């Protein structure tokens, strides 16, 4: 049960919590099971991104324990959780997959995700988070330009910037509290985590 006076911390999944995208992973997993998925995906996409995400999630066999989690982000979330902060996974990934990731990690108080009626990305995500916290303010951890509308409404931005380009193009007025950059491999070469 959250005990902190801090506003909720919303955390993106694709590219932020993990160094991949669950839609991509779902497609590859489903394609490995049936080559027809390539053709079917076009039809599902014509019905909208939520339908595509749902169908691929139903046909994939993703092992959420084996996903490439970004350890610095996980360590930060563990620290915030230990301080009693409310943490919500807020993702454009399909809800059932997001729920599995959340259950595996045990760090989230709630999950907000794409469902049949809405693709939780960009402006749709920004509006949903603002409504979810009752306009009381929130912080957000994200990684891409699609997160700009969310950061514009947040108190603080926490940025996963593996390529080094997001922070430099942040919209005016966004206060960046922390940047999670690429980690270093042995030998000094950066690797995104």
Q: What is the C-alpha separation between 97 and 108, in angstroms, rounded? A: 14
Q: What is the C-alpha separation between 42 and 170, in angstroms, rounded? A: 33
Contact partners, residue 101, CB within 8 Å, separation at least 6 = 13, 17, 18, 64, 67, 89, 93
pLDDT, one tens digit per residue, over 17-67 is 999 999 999 988 888 898 898 888 899 999 988 898 888 888 998 999 999
pTM across the whole model: 0.87
pLDDT, one tens digit per residue, over 74-106 is 999 999 999 999 999 999 999 999 999 999 999
Q: What is the C-alpha separation between 43 and 51, in angstroms, rounded? A: 9
CA 106 to chain centre: 15
pLDDT at 11 over 50: yes
**pLDDT above 90 as % of the chain:** 67
Mean of all residue pLDDT scores within the chain: 89
pLDDT at 164 over 80: no
**pLDDT above 70 as % of the chain:** 92
Q: What is the C-alpha separation between 116 and 93, in angstroms, rounded? A: 12
pLDDT at 193 over 60: no
């Amino acid at each position: 049960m959250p005990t902190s006076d801090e506003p909720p911390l919303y955390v993106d999944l694709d590219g932020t919590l993990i160094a991949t995208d669950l839609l991509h992973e779902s497609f590859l997993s489903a394609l490995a099971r049936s080559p027809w998925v390539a053709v079917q995906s076009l039809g599902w996409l014509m019905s909208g991104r939520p339908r595509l995400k749902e169908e691929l999630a139903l046909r994939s066999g993703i092992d959420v324990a084996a996903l490439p989690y970004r350890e610095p982000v996980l360590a930060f979330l563990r620290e915030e959780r230990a301080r009693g902060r409310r943490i919500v996974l807020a993702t454009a990934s399909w809800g059932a997959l997001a729920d599995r990731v959340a259950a595996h990690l045990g760090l989230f108080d709630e999950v907000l995700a794409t469902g049949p009626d809405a693709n939780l990305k960009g402006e749709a995500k920004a509006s949903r988070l603002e409504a979810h916290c009752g306009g009381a303010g929130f912080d957000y951890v994200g990684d891409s330009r699609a997160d700009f509308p969310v950061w514009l409404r947040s108190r603080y931005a926490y940025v996963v910037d593996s390529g080094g380009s997001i922070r430099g193009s942040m919209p005016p007025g966004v206060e960046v509290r922390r940047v999670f950059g690429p980690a270093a491999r042995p030998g000094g070469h950066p690797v995104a985590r």
